[in-house]
């Protein structure tokens, strides 16, 4: 699968209400140098029993999960810049240990590239199907994509994307229900009254301050997800 997906630009045509729309060029690339280095590390790490996996992009990678959740076999499978195509390509390593739990958070880089919502949700569906087939006893937690804060956002390609984040999250909630996964609504934890990422929790409008991860873990614990 990796050979098929890596670095490709997929040409997709899709239909809405019976009317054909123009073909959309999909940037499915993911295998940059950072991705390759992280994946190489992951594949050389020994599996543990009852792993609790945090899987995603830079927002996941920057979390000190092992320190925040001491005494449990927690592993960090975040890769900065990753997208849903990249997660699909490395799932075999993630499920090789038959982990107890997977906390998935991916998609903001897909949204930033302008990928259609249907493509993002279809990739999520493929991710979930892969996990459930390869490791049926693993509990999958689909975490909502975090909001952005426009006033401090430093990346032009992500600006004005909060409405799309909301639409994707609505789709993820429905997908979680239909696939018997647990939906974790992080949006309510990190969003302000305007639906933007709380300014005090971020430096650049997308990534979290280090201490913000304490709120995240406490939220998971309060709901008995950990």
Instruction: For 65-88, give one letter per residue: b (16+ CB within 10 A) or e.
Output: beebbeeebbbbbbbbebbbbbbb
Domain count along the chain = 1
Q: What is the mean pLDDT of the chain?
A: 91
| pLDDT for the residue numbered 23 | 58
- What is the DSSP code string of 63-123? --HHHHSTTS-EEEEE-TT--HHHHHHTHHHHHTT--SEEEEE--HHHHHTT--HHHHHHH
**Domain for residue 2, yes or no?**
no
**Domain for residue 77, yes or no?**
yes
| pLDDT for the residue numbered 25 | 76
Average pLDDT over residues 88-111: 97
**Domain for residue 11, yes or no?**
no
Q: How far apart are CA 222 and CA 226, in angstroms?
A: 8
pLDDT band at 198 (very low <50, low <70, confident <90, very high): very high
Give the three-class secondary structure for 58.
helix
Cβ atoms of residues 125 and 172 within 8 Å? no
> Above 50 in pLDDT, residue 14?
no
Of the candidate ranges 5-9, 38-42, 105-109, 202-206, the one whose mean pLDDT is the lowest: 5-9
- The CATH number that applies at residue 156 is 3.40.50.1110
List, for residues 173-196, the tens digit of each pLDDT value. 999 999 999 999 999 899 999 999
**Domain for residue 94, yes or no?**
yes
Average pLDDT over residues 72-85: 97
% of the chain exceeding 90 in pLDDT: 85
Segments forming the whole domain that contains residue 105: 33-222
**Helices 117-134 & 162-178, crossing angle to 10 degrees?**
30
| pLDDT for the residue numbered 31 | 85
Q: How far apart are CA 103 and CA 153, in angstroms?
A: 25
pLDDT band at 69 (very low <50, low <70, confident <90, very high): very high
Q: How far apart are CA 193 and CA 213, in angstroms?
A: 20
Average pLDDT over residues 60-71: 97
> Above 50 in pLDDT, residue 110?
yes
Average pLDDT over residues 17-37: 73
pLDDT band at 24 (very low <50, low <70, confident <90, very high): low
**Domain for residue 57, yes or no?**
yes
């Amino acid at each position: 699968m990796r050979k098929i997906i890596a670095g490709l630009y997929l040409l997709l045509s899709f239909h809405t209400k019976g009317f054909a729309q123009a073909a959309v060029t999909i940037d499915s690339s993911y295998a940059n140098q950072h991705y390759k280095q992280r994946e190489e590390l992951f594949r050389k790490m020994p599996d543990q029993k009852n792993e609790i996996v945090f899987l995603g992009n830079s927002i996941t990678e920057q979390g000190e999960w092992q320190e925040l959740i001491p005494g449990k076999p927690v592993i960090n499978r975040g890769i900065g810049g990753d997208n849903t195509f990249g997660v699909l390509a490395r799932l075999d390593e993630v499920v090789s240990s038959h982990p107890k739990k997977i906390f998935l958070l991916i998609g903001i880089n897909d949204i930033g590239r302008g990928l259609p919502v249907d493509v993002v949700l279809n990739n999520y569906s493929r991710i979930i199907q892969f996990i459930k087939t390869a490791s049926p006893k693993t509990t999958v937690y689909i975490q909502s994509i975090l909001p952005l804060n426009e006033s401090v956002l430093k990346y032009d390609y992500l600006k004005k994307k909060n409405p799309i984040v909301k639409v994707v999250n609505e789709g993820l909630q429905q997908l979680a229900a239909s696939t018997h996964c647990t939906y974790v609504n992080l949006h309510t934890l990190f969003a302000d009254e305007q639906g933007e990422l709380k300014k005090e929790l971020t430096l650049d409008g997308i990534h979290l301050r280090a201490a913000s991860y304490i709120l995240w873990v406490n939220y998971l614990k309060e709901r008995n997800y950990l």
